[in-house]
Each structure stands twice: as structure tokens, then as C-alpha cells.
Amino acid sequence: VRIVRAPAAVGKLTASWQARGERVGFVPTMGALHAAHLSLVRRAAAECGKVLVSVFVNPMQFGPKEDFSRYPRPFREDAALCRRAGVDALYHPHPRSMYPPGFDTAVDVGRLSRPLCGKQRPGHFRGVATVVLKLLLQVQPDRLYLGEKDFQQLAVVRRMARDLDLPVRVVGCPTKREPDGLAISSRNVYLTPGQRGAAPDLHKALVEGKRLAESGTPPPQVVARVRRRLSSVPDARLEYIELVDASTLESPNPRSRSLRLLGALWFGRTRLIDNVPVKVG
Ligand code: AMP
């Protein structure tokens, strides 16, 4: 796998592929690669002649009290995984080249950034949108592969791509899970064995809520049931459970057919998120 560090070099590489008629699929990540990242890589490889993965722990999307400094950075293992997965190039920019002194621009995707995760993480989606736009301008891929596990992030990036006429197709990929239902995440390594045992309860409660909603239980009761169930998970603290319209991320209206049930749950200093689709009507 070819490792590229300079922003100016990555665009030259993808342009040379595109000049030969290859479609370029791009999978941006923060590294600590796992089976879910590899499922995005496989999807990209199935649809594109060339696959480029980026590994960049983006300081701009972490709050001052969040886990930026302790976020795992096993770069050698990441490179080995990419090599085995047949990734064509791995882009690993320096923080200094992404955010040189004096950097002072941000992309703010309005309403979609504010509810859900945006409430507890002010500035998070500005950091995400800004880095994704920078990466897209540097890489200039044909397709961008993102996971539904970060459902609000996917919505924010789709909105940005549409609003700013970005010449890229955004492809959302289904959430990959452990056999017990826990959504795979680089942050799962922080969990103690006890917390790891309880962590699948988040997905179980969301699935139970989905069933209730799809069989006609009104949204406020669904949310109350899921919250109540999660309030008794040992060692856990609930941040939010919300049932929203899947396209606006706001309270569903009577015409909403495609909903999303989303939640965030803390175990100690570790924050887990998950979501499931809900079809009504
Ligand atoms: P991250 O490295 O956590 O920023 O994730 C990089 C990409 O992988 C994002 O598009 C995530 O949504 C996606 N991703 C992470 N975990 C999962 C998962 N369990 N299933 C599907 N996609 C995922």
C-alpha cells in the first residue's frame, strides 16, 4: 500500500488514476481500523477501480474535555490492514499540514448539526464538516464511503455535499456489529470487561423501541420505554434517546415515514452511540 503524507501529493495520485479512467473511492477514518472500516473498504473496492483510505485523528472535531489525546493511533497495524485489504493508497496527513498556524475557517452545516450528538458536543460537526471538505478538496474522489453508525455525521456530510455542489457521490454503508449486536467502534477498546458485557444493551433497547414504533406505539412512549430500559444498565449513564425524522433529524411529523431511533450511552469516560431505522405508516 502506498502511503502519502503531503496534501499536494494525494490529489496528484488520484488525478493520475482518474486520467487512466479509474473511478476513485475514498474512505476517511480516524484510524484504529477494524472490521467496520474494512466493510467500507470492500464496498468501495466493489464499486471503484481504486480505493484510498485516510487516517487522520482530527483535532477540530474533539471538544476540550474529550478523548483526543488518548484516542488510539496504531498506525503500523492500520497500514498492514490496508495492505492486506488491497487498499491502493493510505493518506496520513500531518496535523500541521491540515491546520497550519493561522488556520481560521470552518464549515457550519446549520440545523442538522444541532440536535442529538450536537447538543452535548458543540462544534463537533463543524470540525467534521471542515475536515471532510478539506479531505474531499485534496483527494477529489468520485465516491465517498461513510458508515450509518454515525448517522448524524452522514446526514451532515450529505447536506454539505448538496449545498456546496461537491462533485462526489456520498454512499452510506450499513452498521457493522459484533455478534452480540454491539456496533463496532474504535472506542470499544476503552470498555472494561464488565462494561463490554453491558454495552450491547444499547442496541437491544433500540431494537425493542423500533418494534414498538413499527407496531404503532406513539413516539413519546417509545422513547420513554427505551430510556427507562437503559436507565437500569449497570455502570451506564444515558445521554440521549431520540426518535426523529430520518431526513430532518427533527421530531417526526404525521407524514414522516422514515424515522431513526438514535442513542448515546456513557460507560465511565467512554461514550457509545448507535441507531436503527424505523419504518412507519
Ligand atoms: P471513524 O474512524 O470512527 O471516524 O470512522 C470512519 C468511518 O467508518 C465513518 O464513516 C464511520 O461511520 C464508519 N464506521 C465506524 N464504525 C462503523 C460501524 N460499526 N459500522 C459501519 N460504519 C462504521
Confidence (pTM): 0.98
DSSP for 87-143?
-SEEE---HHHHS-TT-------TGGGSSTHHHHSTTHHHHHHHHHHHHHHHH--SE
* Size (the chain), residues: 281
134-189: per-residue pLDDT in tens? 999 999 999 999 999 999 999 999 999 999 999 999 999 999 999 999 999 999 99
Rounded to the nearest angstrom, the distance between the alpha carbon of 186 and the centre of ligand 1 is 9
Percent of the chain with pLDDT over 70: 100
Amino acid at 76: R
Q: How far is residue 262's CA from residue 156's CA, in Å, rounded to a whole number?
A: 15
> Which residue in 8, 40, 50 sits closest to 142, CA to CA?
50
Would residue 37 show up in a list of annotated catalytic residues for this protein?
yes
Q: What secondary structure letter does DSSP report for 274?
A: E
Mean pLDDT score of the chain: 98
Q: What residue has cell string 407524514?
A: 255
Residues with CB under 6 A from ligand 1: 29-30, 36-37, 40, 146-147, 149-150, 173, 175-176, 183-186
179-201: per-residue pLDDT in tens? 999 999 999 999 999 999 999 99
b/e map 201-227, b = 16+ CB within 10 Å = bbbbbbebbbebbeeeeebeebbebbb
Ligand 1, atom nearest to 175 Cα: 20
Q: What residue has cell string 499540514?
A: 97
Mean pLDDT of the region 262-267: 98
Pocket test for ligand 1, best of 150, 186, 262 (most atoms within 8 A of CB): 150
- Say yes or no to pLDDT of 281 above 90: no
